[in-house]
């Protein structure tokens, strides 16, 4: 949403919670959000939000979803797998889990789902 909001840096405290969820509740955004695309060709597993090349990898993926919450949850799980591969603790263990994802899915926001049983992941190899 960097191109949509003024001063996006002001939304980062508390791991962006509840700011990401609240922002996506705005009628001007919620009514238009039909498809979400995440460029994960190069991804980071540590040190964000600014780019840190020493903590990035060629994930070579595009995440595409109609459910932005499911997309963020799936991206988080991809990052956690890479963190485990690199011998790092989970974001949860480091008290840095993206809590805004659960907030976006809660009964107040209802922006999507973060229950892996409700998310169908389809992988396509090029």
The answer to whether residue 2 is domain-embedded is no
Higher pLDDT, 124 or 53: 53
- Which tokens hold the place of 29? 């955004």
- Residue 64: domain span: 11-118
Name the band, by pLDDT with cuts 50, 70 and 90, for residue 111.
Answer: very high
Task: Return the ∠ at Cα 24 (arms to 19 and 25), rounded to 5°.
Answer: 100
The answer to whether residue 4 is domain-embedded is no
pTM value?
Answer: 0.92
The answer to whether residue 24 is domain-embedded is yes
Cα(114)–Cα(68) distance, integer angstroms:
10
The answer to whether residue 69 is domain-embedded is yes
The answer to whether residue 3 is domain-embedded is no
Residue 4, pLDDT score: 81
How many domains does the chain contain in total? 1
Residue 104, pLDDT score: 97
């Amino acid at each position: 949403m960097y191109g949509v909001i003024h001063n996006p840096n002001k939304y980062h405290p508390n791991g962006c919670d509840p700011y990401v969820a609240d922002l996506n509740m705005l009628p001007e955004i919620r009514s238009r959000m039909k498809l979400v695309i995440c460029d994960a060709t190069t991804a980071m597993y540590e040190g964000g939000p600014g780019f840190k090349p020493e903590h990035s990898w060629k994930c070579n993926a595009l995440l595409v979803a109609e459910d932005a919450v499911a997309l963020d949850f799936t991206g988080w799980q991809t990052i956690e797998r890479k963190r485990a591969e690199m011998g790092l603790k989970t974001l949860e263990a480091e008290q840095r889990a993206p809590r805004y994802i659960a907030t976006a899915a809660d009964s107040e926001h209802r922006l999507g789902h973060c229950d892996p049983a409700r998310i169908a992941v389809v992988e396509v190899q090029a």
